[in-house]
Structure 1
Amino acid sequence: MFSMFQISCQGEMAEPQRDRTEPTALTAAEGPSCSSLTTKELQQNLRAVKQRERPVRLLFEIPSTRIIEQTLSRYVVYQIVVMRSGSFDSRRVSVERRYSDFSRLHHRLMEEFSEELEEVPLPRKLLTGNFSPEMISERRLALQDYLAQLFSVRCVRLCPHFSRFFTEQEQRRAHALLRAGQFDAALEQLQLVLEIQEKLLPWQSPTLTVPTLSALAVCYRDLERPEQAFSAAQKALPPVRRYGLKHYRASLLDLLVDLGYQLRRPVAQLQEELTGLRDAERGEVSSRSLKELVVQEFI
């Protein structure tokens, strides 16, 4: 019996182990190997990898200009298109700015970064010939290069002044329309601002979009579009929580709870958060509605 047991054990131990690297039917079905790909497919895969790894940058283009004629003044406005490189950007958004807007930005930046901008001059203003087609075209290209140079300076592209240059006028216009009850017109401006801010967001504060999303939520609600209002407020809440924007948090939660009941969404956690916030910071949490908060901004 001993010998039979010994032989049996030896037989089990002598059985060759399965090669763990041997492909099974499952792994073979997961996808074709590199050797089975055609040259064209390999090239497409390589391009896709390079596209994913390409660093994202902002690109600025000034494709057109127009002359504004007013009773006592005449000036040129430049259309600035903002795009993101590194991946295909189908959203080409643009704003219009005067030379005086560029000049104002430059002076604000020089107050903080004079040394860093020593080699980034603002294209000079001419006293004569400003409205000739040749001069307008020359300045258009010079201002386009100027924006690219500004973006190449790290401290500038991280500076709030840089993002405000592209959005502040539209934000003020949107909030003025909102205060006047012109919610459709305000919505159009706010959507433009949000698109530009989302392009700028990798280089700006994560709270950059909070005022815009809050204003969008107010507009959507007053236009009786609760789904969009809920979505906008929901997007604004995470950075508000994370970065401690107390004056927004309670107002956003209150709106979300109200809209959640209307839309039959689960709101128990939101209600609990709002109650806990008010209990923990009694007297310090704003009791104003989100609309009351929004209309006081950008006055």
Structure 2
Amino acid sequence: MTEPEPKRDPEDRTETDLMDPDEPPSCSSLTTNQLQQNLRAVKKRERPVRLLFEIPTTRIIKDVLTEYVVYEVVVMRSGSFDSRRSSVERRYSDFSRFHHKLLKEFNEELEDVVLPRKLLSGNFCPELISERRLGLQYYLAKLYAVRCVRHSPRFPEFFTEPEQKRAHGLLRGGQFQLAVDQLQTVLEIQEKLLPWQNPTLIVPTLSALSVCYRDLEEPEQAFAAAQKALPPTRRYGLKRYRASLLDLLVDLGYQLGRPVAQLQEELTVLRDAERGEVSSCSLKELVVHEFI
């Protein structure tokens, strides 16, 4: 019996795996110079995919009762195919809470990963802020190097949960365009994390975007977001999202003049097969109860 091919870790994947380049011409028809260029292109495509973290800037926030430093955290994925720089802002206290959550699950694995110490004085000294900025950047790189951490749901939570909660609060308040702006940042970061995270990570975000776009009377964008969310719900059995997404897609499809017969049939079969187990509420009803 032939042994199954071992499963590769996502960070062993190359740009060749993640992209679908055109088939190169036959070697026999290439000149020496073309062969050399082709070889360089192949080597470039075969660079392993990595997450890169940068904390390029800081700013001091002054409220009535408090004053604190926030750090801009930029998340990038290595490779020429991903040139987007998505960023969020976090305080030192956010890093500290994140670190303690990880220690509860991965104490032994994080033995060599040290969070920069809390400053008891001089918190707003430019030299100390710069030192801590570099220390936190190095800390994120060390965390990513720990396999169990980069595959943990805790990892994407640190980079997206505050923005998700803010976006859903705006959505519940009817501020759909502001919610879209937050959700787009969340989605960009989640997509960078997908080689190491379950593809269902993006389903709540895409669902929320679809709801926002629909209420903004942008049915094309709403349909596109829902359509993108549907495949992972099918593959991983997210019954409540799948039924609600299908229902929305059928409704939007009729509005846009799209063929919806197969979507309608899929929804009918799903509800008949899972009677009593599939949510009958709308996608908007599902979304507004997330991140409360």
Contact 1:61 1:81 in 2 (8 A): yes
Misfit runs of 4+, over 4 Å: none
Q: Shift of residue 45 of structure 1? A: 2.1
Query: Unaligned regions of 5+ residues in structure 2, if any?
Result: 1-24
Q: Which amino acid aligns with 2:31?
A: S
Residue in 2 that maps onto 1:215: 208
SS where residue 188 of structure 1 aligns? helix
Residue in 1 that maps onto 2:108: 115
SS where residue 256 of structure 1 aligns? helix
**Are 1:71 and 2:33 matched, yes or no?**
no
Q: Shift of residue 226 of structure 1? A: 0.8
Q: Shift of residue 43 of structure 1? A: 4.0
Residue in 2 that maps onto 1:256: 249
For each residue in 1:157-194, what CA deviation from the matched residue of structure 2 results, as whole angstroms up to 9, or x when unmatched? 00111111000000000000000000000000000100
Residue in 1 that maps onto 2:269: 276
Residue in 1 that maps onto 2:154: 161
Q: Shift of residue 36 of structure 1? A: 1.9
Q: Shift of residue 35 of structure 1? A: 5.8
Residue in 2 that maps onto 1:18: none
CA distance in 2, matches of 1:34, 1:110: 58
Contact 1:217 1:233 in 2 (8 A): yes
CA distance in 1, matches of 2:79, 2:92: 29
- Determine which of 225, 232, 241 is the counterpart of 2:234: 241
- Determine which of 177, 180, 186 is the counterpart of 1:184: 177
TM-score by length of 1: 0.87
- Determine which of 88, 95, 100 is the counterpart of 1:95: 88
CA distance in 2, matches of 1:64, 1:253: 43
- Determine which of 31, 35, 44 is the counterpart of 1:36: 31
Name the Cα RMSD after superposition. Answer: 1.3
CA distance in 2, matches of 1:127, 1:134: 15
- Determine which of 247, 271, 279 is the counterpart of 1:286: 279
Number of residue-to-residue matches in the alignment: 268
CA distance in 2, matches of 1:88, 1:248: 30
Q: Which amino acid aligns with 1:199?
A: K
Q: Which amino acid aligns with 1:207?
A: T
Q: Shift of residue 74 of structure 1? A: 0.7
SS where residue 82 of structure 1 aligns? strand
Query: Unaligned regions of 5+ residues in structure 1, if any?
Result: 1-29
Q: Shift of residue 278 of structure 1? A: 1.3
Identity of aligned residues (%): 78
